[in-house]
A and B are shown apart, each in its own frame.
Chain A
Amino acid sequence: MLVFFDTIIYYLYFIMTAFFAFLLLRNLFKREKRKALVYDIVYSYVIITFILRVIGIK
């Protein structure tokens, strides 16, 4: 039973990460603060980190 819950939580974390990846992607294109170009770059690689986790690469 606990193993089952652990598994559900495990997948919840992937869903959560995917959701944050989406929010970050949205903010890359449309945000209020820190609009400078360098932050576009920071956003880009942070998004990639989230995506790599979501698709189970790292």
Chain B
Amino acid sequence: MYLQTTIIAIVMVATFALASWKLKSPEISMVITAIVGALVGGFGFPSRLLVEGMFTYFDVGLIFLTASIFINIYSETGAMNALVRWIVKQFYDKKWLMLILLGILLIIPGALTGAGSVSIFVVGGLVSSVMNYMGFSKKRIAAFIYLFAMLAAVAPPINLWAMLMAAQANMPYVGFGVVLIVPIIIIAAFTILYTGLSKTPGRKTKTEILEELPQPPAGMNWFKILVPFGVLLVLILLMQYATFYIPVLGLPLTFMICAFISMGMDKDRWKVKKWYNVMVKTVDQVFPLLGTVISVGVLVNIMTATGVKGLLAITFITLPMAFIYITALIFAPFAQGSLSYGSAIILGTPIIFLFNSMGLNVTVTAAALSFLFPLGDCLPPSRIVGRLTIETVGYEGSYMSFLKAIAIPWLFMGAIGLLMLLFPNQLRFLVVY
């Protein structure tokens, strides 16, 4: 079985490389790889497995669609520009305070929903445009947004990796608060320093920027700016704290409600054609992500069917401990790149069991892993958050240069995660119930 599965794995990797190179579309390359894998694996053309795979991350796709629709409609009303204007006005001379504020803004949506991508969708555009006006280079902006999106996903209350690992290992998802927040503060501080200490030669004066920024439309006021976000926050908090008294809304519907409220705030609220066009454009804009999550599911399904997924998992967890530590920074992110949150289930859970049997603290271990997995959100085949960052920031260099741009804070975060993985028992004091 080892030999056969290894051959299938090699064929799949080769197919993916070739298809990506020739077709320039990671989405279709994943599906082609899946089909080739199934053929080589002796599954023929498994239409059911292929179609089933398309549904694996269907709900995630819906979240992407609806979150972007909300934010694009919000921007269309001019509220976003007004907000950027206000931030620049208030914080132009207080760079550090502003970076801290932008960091917190980025962390909130992801912390509440467990998805870094939601952070970028909801506030990424705002942060990017403020930082742009403040003269930061695109590289630093990309690094700042990507890093904070990862931290947002890791931040409590909702850390999906830790929750999934806890669920699989039958341990309650409690005691993660401090052990997540402390490293997050350290990494956030590093990222803010890394960004803030960079040179901003092209920085314009405050007056210039304010002139450049589009004037807010007539009638724009704080009420209109804040209500859509206010409703979003209230709905999310209600779902967390009044959950037994309200029906299950789900994130897609929540975002759609906020989108409609944004429309209601605009004076053109009845111009259906206008909003329809915004939605059409949004679908065009997020399609690569949607295509990615649909396609990566197909690939994962075939990797599972052929045993390639099992091969990767067994290979990793049977490595000697020293190798696990050495390769964790490679294995964990790449698992995330190909399996998304499935990484926590496939690799995370066996590691939890392994560490548990060695008497190491599993809460710290799970927390540590949840810092390592998100690092892979910029890695192929899916590269979801990475590509999203590039789109939002309007980064124009190659994907490799983007990876280089985020390398330093990325490695810092990896190092922190690795340290936690190495010393779970020494850090046990951080587990506070």
Contacts and interface: CB of A to CB of B under 8 A. Distances in A.
A and B touch in the complex (CB under 8 A): yes
Interface of A: 2, 5-6, 8-9, 12-13, 16-17, 20, 23-24, 26-27, 31-34, 36, 38-39, 41-43, 45-46, 48-49, 52-53, 58
B55 A53 contact: yes
Given A13-B250, A13-B253, A42 B25 contact: yes
A6 B58 CA distance: 20
B346 interface: no
A36 B24 contact: yes
Q: Is the interface of A mostly helix, strand, loop or mixed?
A: helix
6 contacts: A6-B248, A16-B66, A16-B253, A34-B287, A34-B288, A39-B287
B23 interface: yes
Contacts of B65: 20
Interface string B266-287: 0000000000000111011101
Nearest to A40: B28
Given A16-B253, A31-B284, A33-B287, 17 more contacts: A6-B248, A9-B248, A12-B253, A13-B252, A16-B252, A23-B279, A32-B281, A33-B284, A34-B287, A39-B25, A39-B287, A42-B287, A43-B287, A45-B294, A49-B54, A53-B58, A58-B51
A36 B291 CA distance: 14
Given A27-B287, A31-B284, A42-B28, A9 B247 contact: yes
A38 B27 CA distance: 9
Interface string B218-257: 0000000000000000000000000000111110110010
Nearest to B282: A23
Given A6-B248, A58-B52, A42 B62 contact: no
A49 B281 contact: no
B154 interface: no
B31 interface: yes
Nearest to B27: A42
B280 A46 contact: no
Most B CB atoms within 10 A — which of A8, A12, A38, A48? A38
A42 B284 contact: no
Interface in B1-42: 23-25, 27-28, 31
B28 A27 contact: no
Contacts of B51: 48-49, 52, 58
B335 interface: no
A24 B280 CA distance: 8
A46 B290 contact: yes
A38 B283 CA distance: 17
B55 A58 contact: yes
A37 to B, nearest CB: 9
Interface string B112-137: 00000000000000000000000000
Contacts of A23: 279-280, 283
Nearest to A32: B284
A39 to B, nearest CB: 7
B291 A5 contact: no
Contact of B62 (A6, A16, A27, A45): A16
B262 interface: no
Contact of A49 (B27, B58, B279, B287): B58
B301 interface: no
B283 A9 contact: no
Contacts of B246: 2, 5
B185 to A, nearest CB: 37
Interface in B62-76: 62, 65-66
A53 B61 CA distance: 13
Contacts of B279: 23
A9 B249 contact: yes
Contacts of B283: 20, 23-24, 27
Nearest to B28: A38
Nearest to B298: A45
A41 B19 CA distance: 14
A46 B281 contact: no
A7 B249 CA distance: 11
A38 B284 contact: no
A49 B25 contact: no
Contacts of B62: 16-17, 20
A8 B249 CA distance: 10
Contacts of B250: 9, 13
Nearest to A24: B283
Nearest to A6: B247
